[in-house]
Amino acid sequence: MDDSKELTDSAGSGALRGVGIGCGLLVAAPVLVVLGFLVTYAVQRGTPEEYERVAPEEMMSRLSAVSHEAYGVLGLDGGTGPETDPEPSDPSLCYPSGLESIADEPVEGAYSLADRWETDGVTEADAKPALKRLHRHLKDEGWDIDAYEKFDGTANRAAEMAGPAESLTLRASRAGSSDDGGDTRLLFEWRDGSNGGRFSGSVVSPCAYDTK
């Protein structure tokens, strides 16, 4: 038999085998991806969220302390300050993160609370230095500053910039006791208005399990 023909046949067979392996890999890859997705989803669904266990009244007390400290730093004249209900009646549901979030099912026994307040008659001339003081204080206390902006009707920009504003915003956060539970989140905002301007604040807790 001709040696060149044998080499050609061998090369042809090798090429066919290579094509077959390649096709097999192309078919198997999506299956492996789906299988990996299902396994990861099942593991996450079967693993409880690592939320802290805290009674709602205790959590509300923590939020109130943060609110009052922030309000004291703001030093707004004429404001009554935050008034916290010691018996929170409107907790928010908590939803898991990761792949299991696609089920859109709240975590049983878990909750999140918010302490919100607002005061009218605050001018921009008072709100701007107040937010600047609070911004510096939160940074010194180890909070992460997520946003510190002003909005003048056209764009968001640094809150320190000159010029009239329609709103001023300060957002900050601090990591909770577990990765699952999320952060404690702060939002302070001034908005211009016919009543001289409204200043509002909110402190939102990380997710937690009720102790009951």
99-116 pLDDT, tens digit each: 444 555 888 888 999 998
What was the pLDDT predicted at 85? 53
- Residue given tokens 């060149």 in the structure block: 4
Share of the chain above pLDDT 70, in %: 65
pTM: 0.71
3-state DSSP assignment of residue 174: strand
Q: Kindly list the distances between the CA atom of residue 206 and the CA atoms of 35, 51, 63, 209, in Å, as whole numbers in the listed order.
A: 33, 8, 10, 10
**What is the arithmetic mean of pLDDT over 72-80?**
77
The least confident of 19-33, 131-145, 174-188 is 19-33
Q: How many CB atoms lie within 10 A of CB 180?
A: 20
Give yes or no for a contact between 189 and 168, defined as CB atoms under 8 angstroms apart.
yes
What is the structure's pLDDT at 81?
60
Say whether pLDDT at 16 is over 70: no
Q: Which residue has the tokens 């402190």?
A: 203
Identify each DSSP E strand in 24-128 by its residue range. 52-53, 110-111, 114-120
The per-residue pLDDT of the chain, averaged, comes to 76
